[in-house]
Amino acid sequence: MSLAIGSHAPDFELSDQHGVKVSLSSFRGKKNVVILFYPFSFTGTCTGELCAIRDDLNAFQNDDVQLLAISCDSIFSQRTFAEAQGYTFPVLSDFWPHGAVSTLYGVFKEDRGCAIRGTFIVDKEGILRWQVVNAMGDARSISEYKAAIAAL
């Protein structure tokens, strides 16, 4: 299942690495949102992608844009992962009900129990403006979604 560009992005509420509830709708009217699903914390490709974003964070999280990274790992894993890598952006847990938000966005891989690499850009009105879904082992092109953010 893929979401239609121009449709309302499915709302959700998940806990971040500190146990704080974060909802997509809380940014409506305030910020564009980059939703970045990744398979597993502590894996090579996922860590590399998130560290590249961390190192260029102003492009993904600023006064106009909010980054939300999501995997199906527990909040305890998310906290340890974020602290180890110095992530200051929300790292959300789609652990329970397991993969519910990943499923809403069409990126849950049931046989592996995780999300595949999906990136969704939602504008301030909650409308999906851009998306790309990669296979689990295929790293994303950060420059592509930087360009999509700049086009908002």
HSE, side-chain direction, 13 A CA sphere, residue 119: 23
Could you list the active site residues?
46
Please choose, from the candidates 84, 96, 9, the residue with its C-alpha nearest in 3D space to the C-alpha of residue 41: 84
Q: Are 40 and 73 within 8 A, CB to CB?
A: yes
Distance CA(72)–CA(39), nearest Å, equals 7
